[in-house]
Chain A
Amino acid sequence: MTDTAVPLALRPLETLGRRTADVVTSLGRFGTFLAVAVAALVTPPFKLWAFLSRIVFIGYRSLLIIILTGAFTGMVLGLQIFLTLSRFGSEAFLGPAVALSLIRELGPVLAALMVTGRAGSALTAELGIMRITEQIDALTVMALNPMRYLVAPSVLAGVVAFPLMTAIFDVVGIFGGYLVGVELLGLSQGTYFGEMQTFVDMTDVMLGFWKSVSFGVIVTWVCTYKGFNVGHGAEGVARATTQAVVLSSVLILVWDYFFGSVWR
């Protein structure tokens, strides 16, 4: 049907309908993309080497940025929480406050945001360039499933690497808080760690763990999808990379809220 066939008064409705249909179609493609990746993941042949190289790409190469941001996040927390608690004479709770903030919330979220910025963007750009230089088409016409070689190993690597990165972020952050609270501001070491053991339990650790696992899926899913469905040329790759980082970051924060609301 051509545009002229639609009466003028109904055009906005038609536009709204078309946009809605586009959004629903995109969401359908987005969901199918993950389903196909999971199917490739659980059926042989398994691409162990591709998975290991993705672990290096997503995890190992993000280590420095994770350690750096983890340390300073812990130090900032140590300082600010100590100053706040000292108003109430409750400095003894610095350890658990730092640990709970990191383990339940900041560790998974900030680690995921950092890995998105470093590895997620690179993942989208790499797949985008493979798409525009026909490397993905080359795999397809070789009768080899590009989802199995390029997407499934990345998603699995995200599920494995994100919790590991989060654990490192948490541990480094706790020691960052220790450095400020104990070494600089004079809280006793026993109080810092002792109270931590009293107030932090396995539920908190598992909350952080499952959050990081879900972030691993979200980031690799979004970034590989955007890279796989890139537009034309360098501009298309640049746009896809920006969209992947922005969408991943927003989804991390939105999902974090809802996940935290349901699992307390």
Chain B
Amino acid sequence: MITVEGLEKSFGRQAVLRGIDLEMPTGSITVIIGRSGGGKSVFLKHLLGLVRPDAGRVLVDGVEITGLRGAALDAIRRRYGVVFQGGALFDSMTCLENVAFPLREKFRLPRPEVGKRVEAALAQVGLEGMGGKYPAEISGGMRKRVAIARALVIEPEIVFFDEPTTGLDPILVNTIHRLIQDLHRRFRFTAVMVSHEIPEIFEIADRVAMLHEGRIVEVGPPMAIQQSETRVVRQFIRGEPDTAEVS
């Protein structure tokens, strides 16, 4: 279980997170939705230990990570898999080397074992035989799938997805969502996903939290969020234009 309590963060005079409280249960898929610039990625970076909060704390299975550094924080991160927005694949490595990298460097597995697991991971995301290509030589959808394979090859307990379908066409969005759902059923990891994909996201989420102006304004099962009476949630889900911005 990941628990966030009273998380606050400001950059200069701009308050990005204004006291977030949220629980992300073990083995479930929690999706954070919200408008662009609402602080979703900053929130995710706090969960990854990449940004330190001004106030509040993040607990992973009861261990507070906000004060951790060095080896102690790395011990928590060894349980993580992360799919970044743009994939964050290493340009200088082939797809196969990218997927093999955490196995070689983090777990120092023997070469045959690494090869076996990399092939299996690429097969799981439907990219058999594509390992020899460089990230620049494949499409955006393939890059996302390689990034998912790299995140899952180490069999993490917790997987973070930062807008894994941004910039993809609707067919690829559903393909990636189905892939995440399949892999989640198979490995039962705890998933935290930041996404804009409405309404597709409701099909794979166990819980949805709406982040608005630095606060969680609503959290609950997908059905409850879809039927929410809260104005900003309704407006976001229906994609209603902001009249203040239009005028």
Contact = CB atoms under 8 A, between A and B. Distances in A.
Contact of A133 (B50, B88, B102, B105): B88
Contacts of A130: 91
Given A141-B48, A144-B106, A133 B86 contact: yes
Contact of B80 (A129, A133, A134, A141): A141
B77 interface: yes
B17 interface: no
B3 interface: no
A141 B82 contact: yes
A133 B82 CA distance: 14
A144 B90 contact: no
Give the residue among A133, A140, A142, A144 with the most B Cβ atoms within 10 A.
A142
Nearest to A129: B91
A98 B132 CA distance: 52
Contacts of B49: 141
B175 interface: no
B74 interface: yes
A143 B88 contact: no
A141 B48 CA distance: 7
Contacts of B185: none
B74 A134 contact: no
Contact of B84 (A129, A134, A143): A134
A137 interface: yes
B78 interface: yes
Nearest to B79: A143
B124 interface: no
Contact of B50 (A135, A137, A142): A137
15 contacts: A129-B91, A134-B84, A134-B86, A135-B89, A135-B90, A137-B48, A137-B50, A138-B84, A138-B90, A142-B77, A142-B101, A142-B102, A142-B105, A143-B77, A143-B106
Given A138-B88, A141-B50, 8 more contacts: A134-B85, A134-B86, A135-B90, A137-B84, A138-B84, A141-B48, A141-B49, A143-B78
